[in-house]
Amino acid sequence: MTVTDVRLPAGNGIPENERRNLTVVWVLYLATLFTGSLTAWIGIIVAHIKRGDASSHESYEGYTYAIYTFWGTFIASLVGIALTVIGLGYFILIGAGIWFIYRSIKGLLRTNDNRSPYED
Protein backbone atom coordinates (compact mmCIF):
# COMPACT_ATOMS: atom_id res chain seq x y z
CA MET A 1 0.00 0.00 0.00
CA THR A 2 1.45 3.32 -1.02
CA VAL A 3 0.22 6.65 0.22
CA THR A 4 0.21 9.27 -2.49
CA ASP A 5 0.21 13.00 -2.08
CA VAL A 6 0.77 14.68 -5.42
CA ARG A 7 1.70 17.97 -3.80
CA LEU A 8 5.04 16.62 -2.58
CA PRO A 9 8.10 15.74 -4.68
CA ALA A 10 9.02 12.05 -4.74
CA GLY A 11 12.36 10.35 -5.07
CA ASN A 12 14.48 12.84 -3.14
CA GLY A 13 14.51 10.95 0.14
CA ILE A 14 13.73 12.35 3.56
CA PRO A 15 15.25 15.72 4.48
CA GLU A 16 17.59 15.59 7.48
CA ASN A 17 15.35 17.53 9.88
CA GLU A 18 12.34 15.35 9.04
CA ARG A 19 14.43 12.20 9.32
CA ARG A 20 15.38 13.33 12.83
CA ASN A 21 11.72 13.95 13.70
CA LEU A 22 10.65 10.57 12.35
CA THR A 23 13.44 8.90 14.30
CA VAL A 24 12.12 10.57 17.46
CA VAL A 25 8.63 9.20 16.74
CA TRP A 26 9.93 5.65 16.25
CA VAL A 27 12.13 5.80 19.35
CA LEU A 28 9.17 7.07 21.38
CA TYR A 29 7.11 4.15 20.07
CA LEU A 30 9.79 1.63 21.00
CA ALA A 31 10.30 3.27 24.39
CA THR A 32 6.71 2.26 25.11
CA LEU A 33 8.01 -1.24 25.78
CA PHE A 34 9.85 0.07 28.83
CA THR A 35 7.91 3.14 29.94
CA GLY A 36 4.28 2.36 29.25
CA SER A 37 1.99 3.93 26.71
CA LEU A 38 2.78 7.57 27.52
CA THR A 39 5.66 7.76 25.07
CA ALA A 40 3.51 6.30 22.27
CA TRP A 41 0.93 9.04 22.87
CA ILE A 42 3.67 11.66 22.63
CA GLY A 43 4.90 10.01 19.42
CA ILE A 44 1.48 10.04 17.78
CA ILE A 45 1.02 13.71 18.63
CA VAL A 46 4.40 14.53 17.07
CA ALA A 47 3.56 12.46 13.96
CA HIS A 48 0.20 14.16 13.48
CA ILE A 49 1.69 17.64 13.89
CA LYS A 50 4.74 17.06 11.72
CA ARG A 51 2.94 15.27 8.87
CA GLY A 52 1.41 18.58 7.83
CA ASP A 53 4.92 20.07 7.57
CA ALA A 54 6.34 17.24 5.43
CA SER A 55 8.36 18.56 2.51
CA SER A 56 8.93 15.28 0.66
CA HIS A 57 6.78 12.36 -0.38
CA GLU A 58 8.94 9.91 1.58
CA SER A 59 8.66 11.85 4.84
CA TYR A 60 4.89 12.21 4.39
CA GLU A 61 4.65 8.45 3.95
CA GLY A 62 6.85 7.93 7.00
CA TYR A 63 4.55 10.01 9.20
CA THR A 64 1.48 8.30 7.73
CA TYR A 65 2.99 4.87 8.42
CA ALA A 66 3.66 5.92 12.03
CA ILE A 67 0.09 7.15 12.42
CA TYR A 68 -1.39 3.93 10.99
CA THR A 69 0.90 1.90 13.24
CA PHE A 70 -0.31 3.66 16.38
CA TRP A 71 -4.03 3.72 15.59
CA GLY A 72 -4.04 0.15 14.25
CA THR A 73 -2.42 -1.07 17.45
CA PHE A 74 -4.75 1.03 19.57
CA ILE A 75 -7.90 -0.35 17.91
CA ALA A 76 -6.60 -3.94 18.00
CA SER A 77 -5.79 -3.50 21.69
CA LEU A 78 -9.30 -2.26 22.44
CA VAL A 79 -10.75 -5.28 20.68
CA GLY A 80 -8.31 -7.54 22.52
CA ILE A 81 -9.24 -6.06 25.89
CA ALA A 82 -12.92 -6.53 25.14
CA LEU A 83 -12.38 -10.16 24.14
CA THR A 84 -10.28 -11.14 27.15
CA VAL A 85 -13.55 -12.17 28.76
CA ILE A 86 -13.64 -15.20 26.49
CA GLY A 87 -9.87 -15.71 26.40
CA LEU A 88 -9.38 -14.79 22.75
CA GLY A 89 -8.33 -11.28 23.65
CA TYR A 90 -4.97 -12.36 25.02
CA PHE A 91 -3.94 -13.67 21.61
CA ILE A 92 -5.10 -10.45 19.96
CA LEU A 93 -3.14 -8.36 22.48
CA ILE A 94 0.02 -10.41 21.91
CA GLY A 95 -0.44 -10.11 18.13
CA ALA A 96 -1.00 -6.37 18.37
CA GLY A 97 2.15 -6.01 20.45
CA ILE A 98 4.25 -7.99 17.99
CA TRP A 99 2.78 -6.02 15.07
CA PHE A 100 3.56 -2.72 16.83
CA ILE A 101 7.16 -3.73 17.51
CA TYR A 102 7.65 -5.00 13.94
CA ARG A 103 6.28 -1.85 12.32
CA SER A 104 8.19 0.42 14.68
CA ILE A 105 11.49 -1.31 13.92
CA LYS A 106 10.72 -1.35 10.20
CA GLY A 107 9.84 2.35 10.25
CA LEU A 108 13.01 3.21 12.18
CA LEU A 109 15.21 1.21 9.81
CA ARG A 110 13.59 2.67 6.69
CA THR A 111 13.91 6.18 8.10
CA ASN A 112 17.57 5.51 8.83
CA ASP A 113 18.00 4.29 5.23
CA ASN A 114 16.33 7.49 3.95
CA ARG A 115 13.46 5.50 2.38
CA SER A 116 9.72 5.33 2.62
CA PRO A 117 8.46 2.54 4.92
CA TYR A 118 6.13 1.43 2.10
CA GLU A 119 9.02 0.55 -0.24
CA ASP A 120 9.83 -3.14 -0.53
Global model pTM greater than 0.75 = yes
Residue-level pLDDT at 60: 94
Q: State the pLDDT confidence band at 43, using cuts at 50, 70 and 90.
A: very high
pLDDT digits (tens, 9 = 90+) for 12-27: 788 899 999 999 999 9
Q: Are 66 and 40 in contact (CB under 8 A)?
A: no
- What residues does each domain of the chain span? 16-111
Segment 73-89 shows an average pLDDT of 96
Q: Are 46 and 24 in contact (CB under 8 A)?
A: yes
Write the DSSP assignment of 25-79 as a string of letters.
HHHHHHHHHHH-THHHHHHHHHHHHHHTT--SHHHHHHHHHHHHHHHHHHHHHHH
**C-alpha neighbours within 13 Å on the C-beta side of residue 47:** 28
Per the prediction, the chain carries an average pLDDT of: 90
